[in-house]
Structure 1
Amino acid sequence: MAKGSQLPLHSHPEEQIGYLVSGCIRLHSNGEAQEMHPGDSWSFAGDLQHSADILEDSVAVEVFAPVRQSYLAYHPHKA
């Protein structure tokens, strides 16, 4: 994720778990903001509105459960 970019306020029915590999981001949910650093992790329940500010070039690993159907279009071996 590029420094200075934003992930707008959104929600999705899938649960989301993330782990910040490198960089720095600020996550927003439930009217609160939390700055995340390498090694930090987060979890959002399904349908929870959230957003992010990318404060430094960052790499994160995220998992969605169940699989996000909208992401399957980007996978060469669709389920």
Structure 2
Amino acid sequence: MLTRVAFETGAVGAVHNHPHAQLSYAESGVFEYTIAGETQTLRAGDSCYVPPLAWHGVQCREAGVLVDAFTPRRDDFLA
């Protein structure tokens, strides 16, 4: 499943976890992405992998878009 989410500067994706594997791709903008306590900066063209059940969250430093791929699909997003 693919999702595309636009973030404004200063927006926060709260720390959370889920049983899905996730790949996040920064289409544009700048994001501080924390996975299992380690923070990395994603800029346009960068990506990161979030293992199942890993605690993760994001802070948007410069407005942009994240494209996330999940497996299996996020049925909670379809409701």
* TM-score under structure 1 length normalisation: 0.87
- Quote the offset at 1:69 in angstroms: 0.8
Aligned residues: 73
- Quote the offset at 1:60 in angstroms: 1.5
Structure 1 residue ranges (4+ consecutive) displaced by more than 2 angstroms after TM superposition: none
How large is the Cα RMSD of the aligned pairs? 0.8
Identity within the alignment, %: 32
Q: Deviations over 1:5-31 (max 9, x none)?
A: 111110011110111110000001222
* TM-score under structure 2 length normalisation: 0.87
1:36 matched residue in structure 2: 42
Quick check: which one's strand share is greater?
Answer: 2
Bigger Rg, which one: 1
1:77 matched residue in structure 2: none
- The answer to whether 1:54 aligns with 2:67 is no
Unpaired runs of at least 5, structure 2: 1-6
